[in-house]
Amino acid sequence: MAETANITSVDAIDAFRAALIVFLSKVRPLLEETSGEIIRVRQWIEEDQRRHWDHQFRLRWRKLEEAKAELFTATMSKLQEASSLHTMAVQRADRAVREAEAKLAMLRKWSRDLSDKADPLLKQASQFETFLTTEMPRAVAYLDRVIETIEAYAGVASPKQGGPA
């Protein structure tokens, strides 16, 4: 067994250290972007789309009530033609209201599903980001110390190897 290590270069460790730094500089923004996208989707579903379909429901409900009132008026005035047109208008408005209700129900489901599926993944991403921001800088610092130690060792070992025999 040799008493000394024959280390001539720290290039591999230095290259790994550089690759680790590049990796860290690329992965942090990606994790932040991923979290941001999930937050934006959640906001779009829970706020933007919810507000839109609540508004649509109210508008469509108003139109349904107006169509029902017109049908009632036409029925009372005994206008047979107008009554069938008004009946179709009520049916159309009723379908529109049911569509808005279905959209609102779908949004509630999407909101639940998004929370159920995304929250555990966000937690994992957050833990990974914490790991990257706390442990990886320590790893880079450790690699710096390893490189310094090996270079110091190589500097001490070189004169012994090159000395008189």
Six-digit token string for 98 = 């049911």
Residue 61 CA to residue 143 CA, distance in Å, equals: 67
Residues 12, 120 contacting (CB under 8 angstroms): no
Report residue 33 as tokens: 């972007």
Each domain of the chain, given as residue ranges in start order, spans: 12-148
What SS3 class is residue 66? helix
Instruction: Classify residue 7 by its DSSP letter.
Output: -
- Whether the per-residue pLDDT at 158 is higher than 80: the answer is no
Q: What pLDDT sits at residue 141?
A: 94
pLDDT higher than 80, residue 46? yes
Please state, in angstroms and rounded to a whole number, the distance separating the CA atoms of residues 111 and 66: 32
- Residues 126 and 31: their CA atoms lie apart, in Å, by 8
Mean pLDDT of 113-136: 90
Chain mean pLDDT for the chain: 86
Q: Is the pLDDT of residue 2 over 80?
A: no
> What does the pLDDT average to over 97-118?
92
Specify whether the CB–CB gap between 60 and 100 falls below 8 A: yes
Q: At 5, phi and psi to the nearest 5?
A: -85, 145
Q: What digits encode the pLDDT tens for the residues 48-89?
A: 999 999 999 999 999 999 999 988 888 887 766 667 888 899
**Rounded CA separation 108/59 (Å):** 20
- The pLDDT of residue 165 is 39
CATH architecture of 12-148: Orthogonal Bundle (1.10)
pLDDT value, residue 163: 44
- C-alpha neighbours within 13 Å on the C-beta side of residue 11: 2
Structure confidence by residue, pLDDT tens digits, 12-32: 889 999 999 999 999 989 988
> Alpha helix (H) ranges present in the chain?
11-43, 50-76, 80-162
